[in-house]
Structure 1
Amino acid sequence: MKVEFAPLAVPLQRRLQTASVVQWVFSFLGLAQCCIVLFAGLLFTRFWLISALYAVWWAWDWDTPSKGGRRAPFIRNSVVWRHMRDYFPITLVKTVELDPTKNYIFGFHPHGVLVAGAFLNFCTEATGFSKIFPGLTPHLMMLNLWFRVPFFRDYLMSGGLVPSDKETASYVLKKPGGGNVLIIAVGGAQEALDARPGAFTLLLANRKGFVRLAIAHGVPLVPVFSFGENELFDQVENPKGSWLRWTQEYLQKIMGISLPLFHARGVFQYSFGLLPYRRPIYTVVGKPIQVEKKHNPSQEEVDELHEKYMEELCKLFEEHKLKYHIPEDQHLSFI
């Protein structure tokens, strides 16, 4: 394989963009493990008191993630995220005004490999969420497991991430006065196994938990489609029925996280590595679907709203696909 190296005369701005993405990829792939090693390792040094005091704090603060978390504006507004935004670049697109006196559920599609669009748009202010949607506070749901990792949990909460469980969802959606947005990557980790350039198949046909959640709290459902999300990485072929796909799905059932074998470019060359390609992402927020609150909805009512949601998502995709260079004959499909 011929390696295409990056030119030596790369502008400083582009180097900063690459560096910001390097730290982001590391935070996804290795920061949690480093935090565990640090916490355990300090216990066997003269700095053991740091881990001991943190353990006390951790026990006292245990329920904070499920109660909306603890965001840190200085981290959400860090210049690092603006460099990351410009690397791709990533753009947040509003189609209608949202009432800040209401709570909402955003269904985010597709999941992609590392959910880059959802993270940057909703866990940072790099694309201007608070200015585009004034009065709304985003809460992106993430696998509960990561909120049990010392130090790492605090980093996650600083951006507005919360655990993906019913208790947390209810806490956010029941907040009086409205102004809260719960963002759910509906396809989840399993959908990441099919994230590759040109893929427009969503894991949604049997995903109805978020619909039940919306009905239980009477909050509008808002479809969100992130054009370009699946274009960031290539992935080793893993068709249904292959040994690799079987292994990935088995591990996903056990651990709750998927292990897509993805690759793209490197830091100093463009031929291989774990950094995403520089390809634009346009995250388009659709119009809200009004939902009637019911404590015990029938299966028919859930199915009806779920069908309406898929129709609105398809409509959103069709209305915007040509703007973002998706072929006219390309349509969404659901499994």
Structure 2
Amino acid sequence: MTFFSRLNLQEGLQTLSVMQWIPVYFILGGRHSAWVRNWTLWKYFKNYFPVKLVKTHDLSPKHNYIIGSHPHGIFSYGVFINFATEASGFAQIFPSITPVLATLEGIFWIPIVREYVMSMGICPVSELALEYLLTKKGSGNAVTIVVGGAAEALLCRPGASTILLKNRKGFVKLALKTGAYLVPSYSFGENEVHNQETFPEGTWLRFFQKIIQGAFKKVLGINLCTFHGRGLTRGSWGLLPFNRPINTVVGEPLPIPKIKMPNKETVDEYHALYISALRKLFDQHKVEYGLPETQELTII
């Protein structure tokens, strides 16, 4: 087999690995299995972009953690590969830490799909499930929450660094109730892998776009984005993501006291500390991962 034929085979396998995730994501919107998390499929998926997990500080197995993930992106490729699979080497980068990725609760109503995602360490993003994981499973657990949720997907487009966080405080309250340390993370490049279109207000395209988006939100709990990327071959048009790097940088843990019933003032205080830590993480790494020095993280 020649070098070029091997290269084409690698690219084909990478493309197929991403293709299988897009329909599963729409169908979706634990019980860990090392075998599933280590599938070779995920390695091809990671290398398609490629995706990288970057550690800035150790996570001690003596504590539990809530990792806040930003931004959502269209399909959350970075957070999926880095925290729901071992393609990026989570177990080696954060030894003795058990990762769990929280996602839409409706996923777990679907037979077979439920088992599929649970085997990768994905759990419902419900207070009951997360509180159980952070209080009844010992220490060394890290729950990753995409804080901006599906609504944030509508803000994601190349060059953007806007996230929904100002009024997203449930994860901070959960951290206080369980004593889990808060850890900010930011996936640089997540917004670059698809182009998203929002049609002008007052046009018939925008009218139909709102109707369709509203229907998807009501039925599936997700926002339908009007996006495009590349096709099966480089340079072609399609729905596959562009081959652009995604670097998920995990920041320094923020110690959190355990308070059974935290009041609003305490939640606000630690929410502000989290925002400050996230801004610091963003500013420290933005230039290294392709953003201009003048780029600011916009929080709404």
> Do the structures match in fold with TM over 0.5?
yes
Whether 2:294 is the aligned partner of 1:329: answer yes
Whether 2:285 is the aligned partner of 1:320: answer yes
Aligned CA distance change for structure 1 residues 207 and 239 (closer, same or farther; 3 Å)? farther
Please give the residue correspondences for 1:1-335 in structure 2 after superposition, counting only pairs within 5 Å.
11-29=8-26, 69-238=30-199, 243=207, 246-247=210-211, 248=213, 251-253=216-218, 255-268=220-233, 270-335=235-300
Assess if the C-alpha contact under 8 Å between 1:211 and 1:306 holds in 2. yes
| CA deviation vs aligned residue, 1:269-291 (integer Å, no higher than 9, x gap) | 53321110000011000001111
> What is the rounded CA distance, in whole Å, between the counterparts of 1:77 and 1:20 in structure 2?
14
Q: Which letter maps to 1:316? A: L
Helix, strand or coil for the counterpart of 2:288? Answer: helix
Shift of 1:177: 3.3
Assess if the C-alpha contact under 8 Å between 1:239 and 1:245 holds in 2. no
Shift of 1:140: 0.4
Helix, strand or coil for the counterpart of 1:264? Answer: strand
> What is the rounded CA distance, in whole Å, between the counterparts of 1:271 and 1:306 in structure 2?
43
Assess if the C-alpha contact under 8 Å between 1:214 and 1:220 holds in 2. yes
Shift of 1:251: 4.4
Helix, strand or coil for the counterpart of 1:168? Answer: helix
Q: Which letter maps to 1:215? A: L
> What is the rounded CA distance, in whole Å, between the counterparts of 1:316 and 1:13 in structure 2?
34
Q: Which letter maps to 2:198? A: E
Aligned CA distance change for structure 1 residues 175 and 238 (closer, same or farther; 3 Å)? farther
Assess if the C-alpha contact under 8 Å between 1:190 and 1:252 holds in 2. no
| CA deviation vs aligned residue, 1:42-98 (integer Å, no higher than 9, x gap) | xxxxxxxxxxxxxxxxxxxxxxxxxxx212111100111111111101110000111
> What is the rounded CA distance, in whole Å, between the counterparts of 1:157 and 1:114 in structure 2?
18
Aligned CA distance change for structure 1 residues 170 and 9 (closer, same or farther; 3 Å)? closer
Aligned CA distance change for structure 1 residues 145 and 13 (closer, same or farther; 3 Å)? same
- Identical pairs, percent: 47
Shift of 1:195: 1.2
> What is the rounded CA distance, in whole Å, between the counterparts of 1:187 and 1:320 in structure 2?
20
> What is the rounded CA distance, in whole Å, between the counterparts of 1:110 and 1:150 in structure 2?
29
Shift of 1:175: 3.0
Please say which structure displays the higher CA radius of gyration. 1
> What is the rounded CA distance, in whole Å, between the counterparts of 2:234 and 2:280 in structure 1?
39
> What is the rounded CA distance, in whole Å, between the counterparts of 2:50 and 2:234 in structure 1?
19
Shift of 1:18: 1.2
> What is the rounded CA distance, in whole Å, between the counterparts of 2:32 and 2:256 in structure 1?
29
Assess if the C-alpha contact under 8 Å between 1:190 and 1:249 holds in 2. no
Q: Which letter maps to 2:184? A: P
Aligned CA distance change for structure 1 residues 244 and 333 (closer, same or farther; 3 Å)? farther
Partner of 1:61: none
TM-score (norm 2): 0.92
User: What is the RMSD computed on CA atoms of the aligned residues?
Assistant: 2.1
Shift of 1:26: 2.8
Shift of 1:25: 1.8
TM-score (norm 1): 0.83
Helix, strand or coil for the counterpart of 2:232? Answer: coil
Helix, strand or coil for the counterpart of 1:207? Answer: coil
Q: Which letter maps to 1:260? A: C
Helix, strand or coil for the counterpart of 2:253? Answer: coil
Assess if the C-alpha contact under 8 Å between 1:110 and 1:226 holds in 2. yes
